[in-house]
Structure 1
Amino acid sequence: MLYHPVKPNKYNMEVAGIMSSKFKTVLPEFSSVPGREEDRFVYERVVNSIISLIRDEKYEIGRKLPPIRDLAEQFDCNFHTVRKAVQLLCNDGILEKRSRLGNFVRRNTSHLVGKPQAKVQIVSMRKIGILLCPGPTEFSTPLLMELERAATAMEIQLELQSAANWDKAVEVVEDMKKTGCRAAVLTADRNNLNVKEVHRLFDRSPIPLVVGDLIAGYERFCYEPPEIYGRWYSRNSMLFQCGYFYELGYKAIAYLRRSAFSGSSKDKYGYYREFMEATDHLPILDQFVDDDSGRFSRILKEWEPFRGNLAVICEDDVEAMRLVIAASKNGWTLPEEMAVMGFNNFAFGRYVDPPLTTIQFPYDYLAKRLLVRALELSSGQTEWSAAELPAPEVVLRESCGGRRRLPEDRLRNLVTERLKAKIFPGE
């Protein structure tokens, strides 16, 4: 799960990490003199010893532990002390108590590090920080959900913090290291990314930072190696969108982008031109939008000659929805006179008229790769592990005009068989 930092205690510590060779396999010796400080926390030492027992004896998940009285004898301590330790491990999901049957191993403990200390703390060697700077966005919110799912599957503990500005981000990362984070994932608004400040953050961070962008001079912190970076995002999605409208028979395919022309925006435009030039007969209709509300009217006027046989690929759903609204105000009928497809599958795209066809951003893939790279860097590994790039996943709705040009079965066959993409379920 994603956790806001809180003071560690026996109820809020999550379990995840890698095995430590320093883990004690035998219950440490302690004094039995009543009233001593160490006696108050004997059960905490028993917690570590039970974890050690499970690990060293190679207990499989589902295997039953010895009875509590037997464990008390083995650890040379009180029955109630062991019962308290077992209950704690049940609360943490490591053990499972089955009525009248006993206690069973629920979770692999080969990755746990136990530390006898004044407060119970099963320390994670796979604790990763998540830094939001400057805060949540329409992009980062679904990514955080997938990071949580991926972390649960990978048995990683996450600590979520946000920073109002880049100066504060440095302090936040320093705090993350103090709380045991081995690396951190930086989720920032790429449209307002201050490269100079990001460089400064990389240079001052006491732990490795992983980002979703390829930043010159800091390529090793990208979740993907440079040779494949963003290929599924820029190339595969753009070629699918162009191919989709081309196969449906549209005579003009336009690309509508944001005014900022760099990074992925520039890459997408390059792939758009590549496709158009390969067709020989389709015109290149590239336009950009900014905050000028009147610009859409001017763009639509330029596109007037293609009205009725025009398809528009938008850089993301924001531009796509602005176009749909502007076209309606200027008397265009969608999708009859203009088909539109966005990118990202923002939730509110389904509520425009007509509902927006879009490409689902592969948040699940990105989340897993970000965490994998964080673990690699935290362990000193410089090379990227291999990964299978995801196929484009289209959210088929009414704005693209597909169902007006092909029967449903042929449309789905075009997407999945000819264009080798997926159809987002539930649409």
Structure 2
Amino acid sequence: MIATQYLISLGHRRIAVITGPTNSQSSQARLSGYMATLQKSGISADPHLIKVGDYVSDKAYKAACNLLEMREQDRPTAIFAFNDLVAINVYRAARQHGISLPEQLSIIGFDDVYPAASMCPSLTTIRQPFDLIARQCINLILEAREGKVEQNYFIFPTQLVERESCVSPARP
């Protein structure tokens, strides 16, 4: 929700997503948040702007190419990549299609992996609390060993990390 709301606050209305696997809980939650945020903002979801990337380089790259090969008036002004690896492949596809970042296309990722800050332009992303996630995983393992697992689905707080890859769209 944070990523989509941020892009909307910049003025984007044609926001595409490249998801992870369709059976992934995190991917489903991000897609639900994207759809709910669009609806809350009065923006109709365009099914042509929703692509499955599976968190895999080749599939993410092909999904990005598919979005960038749309007619200019149909092409997204921003892409929410459901993880930073997908975002890296969007950068690659944009370069190969002659689309300048962020002037012609804003990109936001998810995870805040190490290379995100070093990319050019540096990647705006959503940071996950990996230390908190790791501690919870260890607790789950210990609880499972003792036969006391009470909960296996958690929602962790995230944080928007604003960098250079998102700007207001040149065209609405």
The normalised TM-score by structure 2 is 0.77
Measured against aligned partners, the alpha-carbon deviations of 1:55-110 in whole angstroms (never above 9, x if no partner) come to xxxxxxxxxxxxxxxxxxxxxxxxxxxxxxxxxxxxxxxxxxxxxxxxxxxxxxxx
SS at match of 1:398: coil
Of 67, 76, 79, 1:299 maps to 67
Please give the secondary structure, in 1, of the residue aligned with 2:165. Answer: helix
Query: In structure 2, which of residues 117, 123, 129 is the aligned counterpart of residue 362 of structure 1?
Result: 129
Residue number in structure 2 paired with 1:400: 166
In 2, distance between residues paired with 1:351 and 1:303?
A: 31
Query: What stretches of structure 1 move > 6 A for 4+ residues in a row?
Result: none
Task: Return the offset for 1:294.
Answer: 5.4
Contact 2:17 2:50 in 1 (8 A): yes
- Listed one character per residue, the Cα deviations across residues 21-52 of structure 1 (whole Å, up to 9, x for unaligned) are xxxxxxxxxxxxxxxxxxxxxxxxxxxxxxxx
Worse overlay, 330-339 or 260-269: 260-269
In structure 2, C-alpha distance between the alignment counterparts of 1:392 and 1:364, rounded to whole Å: 12
Does 2:10 match 1:248? Answer: yes
The offset of 1:331, in angstroms, is: 1.5
Q: Is 1:265 the equivalent of 2:48?
A: no
1:306: Cα distance to partner?
A: 5.1
Q: Deviations over 1:200-226 (max 9, x none)?
A: xxxxxxxxxxxxxxxxxxxxxxxxxxx
Query: Residues 381 and 277 (structure 1 numbering): CA distance in 2 closer, same or farther, change over 3 Å?
Result: same
Counterpart in the other structure of 1:286: 50
Contact 2:140 2:149 in 1 (8 A): no
Deviations 1:88-137 (A, max 9, x none): xxxxxxxxxxxxxxxxxxxxxxxxxxxxxxxxxxxxxxxxxxxxxxxxxx
Counterpart residue number, 2:141: 374
Question: Which AA in structure 2 matches 1:297?
Answer: C
Q: Is the 8 A contact 2:79 2:107 kept in 1?
A: yes
What's the CA shift string for 1:346-386, capped at 9, x where partnerless?
A: 212223221111112221111121222333344453435xx
Q: Which amino acid aligns with 1:335?
A: P
Separation in 2 of the partners of 1:299 and 1:344?
22
1: CA distance, partners of 2:107 / 2:157: 21
Task: Assess, with a 3 A threshold, how the Cα gap between structure 1 residues 281 and 344 changes in structure 2: closer, same or farther.
Answer: closer
Residue 80 of structure 2 corresponds to 313
| CA-based RMSD | 2.8
Question: What do residues 315-357 of structure 1 show as CA deviations (whole Å, max 9, x unaligned)?
Answer: 1111111111211221211111111011111212223221111
Cα distance in structure 1, aligned partners of 2:63 and 2:93: 10
Look up the equivalent residue of 2:50 and give its one-letter code: D
Kindly state the Cα deviation for residue 304 of structure 1 after the two structures are TM-superposed. Answer: 2.2
Which sections of structure 2, spanning at least 5 residues, go unmatched? none
Change (3 A) 1:379 1:314: same
Q: Summarize the alignment of residues 143-162 of structure 1 with structure 2, pairs less than 5 Å apart.
A: none
Greater RCO (CA < 8 Å, at least 6 residues apart): 2
- Greater Rg over alpha carbons, structure: 1
**Aligned counterpart, 1:339:** 106
Work out whether residues 354 and 398 of structure 1, in 8 Å CA contact, stay in contact via their aligned partners in 2. yes
Instruction: Flag structure 1 segments of 5+ consecutive residues without an equivalent.
Output: 1-238, 405-427
* Inter-partner Cα distance in structure 1 for 2:147 and 2:68: 53
Distance 1:373 1:337, change over 3 A: same
Q: Which string of whole-angstrom CA distances, capped at 9 and with x for unpartnered residues, describes residues 283-330 of structure 1?
A: 4321234626555333202262156x7121101111111111211221
Find the aligned partners of 1:303 and 1:366 in 2 and give their Cα distance.
41
2:157 is aligned to 391
Residue 249 of structure 1 aligns to a residue whose secondary structure is coil
In the superposition, the TM-score normalised over structure 1's length comes to 0.34
Cα offset, 1:267, TM superposition: 3.2
Conservation of the 8 A alpha-carbon contact between 1:341 and 1:399 = yes
